[in-house]
Structure 1
Amino acid sequence: MSSTELPQTMKAQLLESPNALYTLASVPLPQPQDPHDILLRVTAASYCHTDAVVASGSVPGLPPVWPHINCHEFAGEVVMAGPAAAALGFASGVRLAVAGRGFHCCGVCDECAAGPDVERGDLHGDIPGVSAYCRASGTCGLTDPGGFAQYVVVDARQVNRIPEGLTDVEVAPLMCAGMTVFTALRKAAVRPGSVVGVVGAGGGLGHLAMQFAEKMGAKVVGVESADEPLRLAREVSPGATVVDARTTEAKEVGAEGQSRKGVDVVLVLPESQKAFDYAMSILRDRGTCMLVSFPAAGFHISALDIMLRHLNITSVLGGTFAATEEMLQFAAKHGVKAKFETFPLDKLNELVAKYNQGGGGKYVVDMAM
């Protein structure tokens, strides 16, 4: 499609102010400005917990201006590509998956210049000059317009081609939720025979973490505290042990056959001190606690756990472009897919209401509806 065939306006869901409902509006079509820019026709846009946080206005500086177009995990097809993007092979019609981070990296900061850092545990780093962790870069859906619109401008250096075997609607939930838990499991060096605990196992991230860990050959212990998420966790990982934290105390959760009871790695997904305490209690001595959530009040951590039990506490925030590519290929090969419900763009507020009910899984805007 040439620029002369493009519409002058598009439909987008706007957040006019903190804690407001989304408003469907007609807005000017976004215009590529940088040689790496791609004008993407959005085909699927997934709702993430961070979208709810941004919509609340509780994060200083996010979004930088109102109104704002939310959504940082989405998919679409190329409509127009700048010269640098075209040189990378992003022709019209190419299907792309987009994670919000790394929009217009600076190319000169320590993160961009560093490349892979094995000593820091970054085994899947990006090439020097482009980093998903560039502090000067923007984030589609957070600092810049995101995917809850018919079109969006993305950076060719922040995208991934969609593998065969995955639809756009299936890919969208993987671009934050899937990428984050996959990176967490890789950073924790999960391998065949590892015992992995997932606290929050039936949520948007948790049910994907269960699948990824299982396909990596790990024994999986899922922890939940609500009926529907428990059902979902058992559905996606029938070979896992799934426990109800409301009726099963942490001391009862052990890894069968281990000389030291407990899991080797535990992912903490809920923003809850109670969930964190449960996670620490099921972790074996010298195990790794992987934080994937960041409550505003933080977590209280026992110094005795660190000193006497020799526990490791670390974290992830998203993942590199290279790790995202590995995640997509892994998901396509092993059939890792989110359980999701779809809504049309004009029903986004209904999607959010359903999300707030806490039923687990993911919720996706399907632009074909």
Structure 2
Amino acid sequence: MPDLPKTQKAAVKVGEGSDSKTEVRDIDVPSPGPGQILVKINYSGLCASDKSLLHDEWAAGGLAMQPQTHGIAGHEGAGIVVAVADDVKDLWKEGDRAGIKWIASVCRKCEFCTNGVDECHCPKQLNSGFSIAGTFQEYALTDGRYATRLPDGVKDEEAGPLMCGGVTAYVACKRSAVRPGQWIVLPGAGGGLGHLAVQYAKAMGMRVIAVDGGEEKEKLCRKLGAEEFIDFTQTKDVVAEVMRITTYGAHGVIVTAATKQGYETAPSMLRPGGTMVCVGLPKDSSVIAGAPPLLMCLKKLNVVGSVVGTLKDVEDCLDFTARGLVHPSLTMGTLEDLDRFCADMNAGKLAGRACLKVAA
């Protein structure tokens, strides 16, 4: 790698718990090992999961950043391939555009990898920013056999947030089983995941009821295609309002808001046979997804979980953007803005998705 610098900038986790911060430090630029490519990260999205990992919100449940990350989070990277291991030169060349995802690598041998539909549950998967160093650095390594090739028509700053936020919202819409012309409710619709779910649901023909708080979130949701908006700060009974709009309840609810109230109220918004999709991951481990058995049985409700998506799902979700149907609403910053964006996210002040310009 004669043309590459020896060192790079990276945002590194310092401290523990809610007081954790990130410091931008100089670290070495790594070299690809077998099967790997090195990607110059032009942009990286900031996911709520990054905030949770940086602040140890899931540590009690056994999900804490592992030592081999070297304190570098991030899993929504997009940029240029600058070095390629010999054994994946049939797949990549220098100058190709590549995306790095939450799932950075899978074993390609287990039942989940070989069934053709669900490698997301590979027990040997590696995860960017959790079990390997993530994308909050100028140069990141990833598995050349699982990186995503970025299509023409999708800018790097849009592709980054789609690597997790986009595919998660897209797959959740599919998991809802809501058909064109049917109602879907999106609590947290103005957030990083929610505003993408509004667009995918709209593009898939669903009728969208967005739920969030404040004029800024309402303006964003309506602009992106929400047919109805319920401001939970102004509406005393959100469930009653959903029933007024839909008559019998919504066909689906995607809970992107990681709150106890979001999970408690979602089942009551559904009509008989409706589906609740669990996506947001609360830091409060006492939050339970579901409903009282009486409600579950009498309304024949479905409660399903959803997590990111397969390699093919990522390609499909990128295609929506290439065709001009879905565009992340971005708040732009740099690695130095990481802590401020996390604080804004905690306070519910971050509309859309934060995106960091990483490489100079």
Q: TM-score, normalised by structure 2?
A: 0.91
Structure 1 residue matching 2:2: 3-state secondary structure: helix
Q: 2:32 corresponds to which residue?
A: 32
1:327 aligns with 2:317: yes
TM-superposed CA distance for 1:243, in Å, is 0.8
- The 3 A distance-change label for structure 1 pair 315 and 61 is closer
Query: Aligned ranges for residues 1-369 of structure 1 at < 5 Å?
Result: 3-18=1-16, 19-34=19-34, 36-57=35-56, 58-59=58-59, 60-65=62-67, 67-88=70-91, 90-103=92-105, 105-116=106-117, 125=118, 131-237=119-225, 239-248=226-235, 249=237, 250-254=239-243, 261-295=248-282, 296-299=285-288, 301-359=291-349, 360-367=351-358
Note the residue ranges of structure 2 that are not aligned, 5 or more in a row.
Answer: none
Shift of 1:163: 2.0
- Residues 168-177 or 187-196, more deviating: 187-196
Alpha-carbon distance between aligned partners in 1 of 2:267 and 2:31, rounded to the nearest angstrom: 48
Alpha-carbon contact 2:108-2:114 (below 8 Å) kept:
yes
Report which stretch shifted further, 164-173 or 355-364. 355-364
Give the equivalent residue in structure 2 for 1:122.
none
- Equivalent pair of 1:17/1:67 in contact (CA under 8 Å): no
SS of the aligned residue for 1:203 comes to: coil
Q: Which moved more, 1:16-25 or 1:164-173?
A: 16-25
Q: CA RMSD in A?
A: 1.9
**Cα distance, 1:136 vs structure 2:** 1.0
Mapped partners of 1:346, 1:52: distance in 2? 15
Which stretch has the larger CA shift, 293-302 or 68-77? Answer: 293-302
Give the 3-state SS of the residue equivalent to 1:158 in structure 2: coil
**Deviation per CA, 1:244-263, whole angstroms, max 9, x where unpaired?**
1233321221375x6x6111
Structure 1 window deviating more from structure 2 (18-27 vs 208-217): it is: 18-27
Structure 1 residue 140: Cα displacement: 1.1
Residue-by-residue CA offset, 1:278-300 (whole Å, 9 max, x unaligned): 32222111100001023222326
2:224 maps to a residue whose letter is V
Is contact 2:187–2:211 with CA below 8 Å preserved after alignment?
A: yes
Q: Is contact 2:36–2:142 with CA below 8 Å preserved after alignment? A: yes
Distance 2:213 2:347 in 1: 14
TM-score, normalised relative to structure 1: 0.89
Asked if structure 1 preserves the Cα contact closer than 8 Å seen for 2:186 and 2:210, the reply is yes
How many residues matched? 348
What is the rounded CA distance, in whole Å, between the counterparts of 1:299 and 1:170 in structure 2? 33
Q: How far, CA to CA, are the matches of 2:179 and 2:42 in structure 1?
A: 35
Cα distance in 2, alignment partners of residues 69 and 110 from structure 1: 31
Residue aligned with 2:208, SS: strand
**Partner AA of 1:210 in structure 2:** V
Q: Name the SS for the 1:275 alignment partner.
A: helix
